[in-house]
Amino acid sequence: MDQIQQQADSPPGYPWAYRRLVTLHDGRRVFIRPILPSDAPELAEAIKTADADTLRRRFLGGPPPVTPELLAHLTTIDYIRRFALVAIDPASQRGVAIARYEPVGGNVAEVAIAVSPDWRHAGLASALLLLLAKAAAERDIHTFTGSYLAGNRAVAALIEDADGPDGQLIEQGITEFSVALDRDPEVVGHGDQTGAGGAQRPGNAPGHA
Ligand SMILES: CC(C)(COP(=O)(O)OP(=O)(O)OC[C@H]1O[C@@H](n2cnc3c(N)ncnc32)[C@H](O)[C@@H]1OP(=O)(O)O)[C@@H](O)C(=O)NCCC(=O)NCCS
């Protein structure tokens, strides 16, 4: 989606400040921006065509039925209590990753993420989660929680990158964790930003899912 189209599609209150051109560890670039309602068809396609392992890890089982209601719920958000970022390949203009938080209660939000297999191991999840943590901290959310299949080493590594979990519970093959967010999100840069390895990582801010 080009810039003009994006402006035309953006809902009131769209948080333009959370757009970044990020250079990943492997030199590829991605454009990260808050999700738009017009992302719904591509998100539907992404869920329908994702491989079984990605779906199992992302949804801890099967994905929910992809209905218009679900897509509206996932793409029409208030950017305050609920926030989501997408990563776009500038060459193909296709979405390659998505990260979101949803309210759990109090100042706590649950975080979830998926990166397309071709775009993994390059710091994209770390970059997305760093920016998501900044958005959350600026909206008075102080803790991210999440769940992942106990054998999901990528997520475990992401949490370790965030200085480890503040709490963790493993039950029936699912690990539930919580991570306190840094109260000073200003350390996350603006504009062009390198991937996880190059971006400043706030102490204890999540690079996690
Ligand atoms: C989990 C996931 C989002 C990671 O995305 P990614 O872009 O590859 O992650 P990054 O490149 O930012 O890597 C972050 C860290 O995880 C590590 N990591 C990534 N994949 C790994 C793997 N398969 N095994 C072990 N470590 C791994 C990286 O080495 C890196 O650690 P480092 O910073 O210490 O080097 C991606 O694998 C994915 O989409 N999985 C399916 C969905 C899912 O599991 N979602 C989480 C539950 S909601």
For ligand 1, the distance from its centroid to the CA atom of residue 155, given in whole angstroms, is 6
Candidate from 155, 159, 174, 177 with most ligand 1 atoms within 8 A of CB, to mutate: 155
CB-ligand 1 contact for 100 (6 Å cutoff)? no
CB-ligand 1 contact for 122 (6 Å cutoff)? yes
Task: Look at residue 189 in the predicted model and tell me its pLDDT.
Answer: 38
Domain boundaries, the chain: 3-193
Q: What is the pTM of this model?
A: 0.88
Q: In Å, what is the CA distance from 69 to each residue of 66, 158, 201?
A: 8, 31, 36
Task: Look at residue 9 in the predicted model and tell me its pLDDT.
Answer: 80
DSSP helix/strand/coil, 85: strand
* Residue showing tokens 């990582």: 201
Please give the mean pLDDT across all residues of the chain: 86
Beta strands in the chain (DSSP E): 20-23, 29-34, 83-88, 95-105, 108-115, 143-149, 167-171, 174-180, 193-194
Task: Look at residue 165 in the predicted model and tell me its pLDDT.
Answer: 87
The radius of gyration of the chain from alpha carbons, rounded to an integer in Å, stands at: 16
**Contact (Cβ atoms closer than 8 angstroms) between residue 39 and residue 95:** yes
Q: Write down how long the chain is.
A: 209
| Per-residue pLDDT of the chain in tens (209 residues, 90 and over written 9) | 566 566 678 898 999 999 999 999 999 999 999 999 999 999 999 999 999 999 999 999 888 899 999 999 999 999 999 999 999 999 999 999 999 999 999 899 999 999 999 999 999 999 999 999 999 999 999 999 999 998 899 999 999 988 888 988 999 999 999 999 986 654 443 444 443 333 333 233 332 22
For ligand 1, the distance from its centroid to the CA atom of residue 7, given in whole angstroms, is 32
CA-CA-CA-CA torsion sign (147, 102, 77, 5)? negative
**Other CB atoms within 10 Å distance of the CB of residue 198:** 15
Task: Look at residue 207 in the predicted model and tell me its pLDDT.
Answer: 29
Task: Look at residue 192 in the predicted model and tell me its pLDDT.
Answer: 46
* DSSP codes joined into one string, 123-167: SHHHHHHHHHHHHHHHTT--EEEEEEETT-HHHHHHHHHTTS-SE
CB-ligand 1 contact for 72 (6 Å cutoff)? no
Task: Look at residue 68 in the predicted model and tell me its pLDDT.
Answer: 97
For ligand 1, the distance from its centroid to the CA atom of residue 115, given in whole angstroms, is 8
Task: Look at residue 62 in the predicted model and tell me its pLDDT.
Answer: 83
* Residue showing tokens 């990020």: 22
Residue with CA nearest ligand 1 atom 36 = 115
Domain 3-193 is found in CATH 3.40.1350.10: no
For ligand 1, the distance from its centroid to the CA atom of residue 121, given in whole angstroms, is 6
Candidate from 86, 113, 147 with most ligand 1 atoms within 8 A of CB, to mutate: 113
Please tell me the distance from the alpha carbon of residue 104 to that of residue 4, in angstroms, as a whole number: 35
Please tell me the distance from the alpha carbon of residue 70 to that of residue 44, in angstroms, as a whole number: 9
DSSP helix/strand/coil, 26: coil
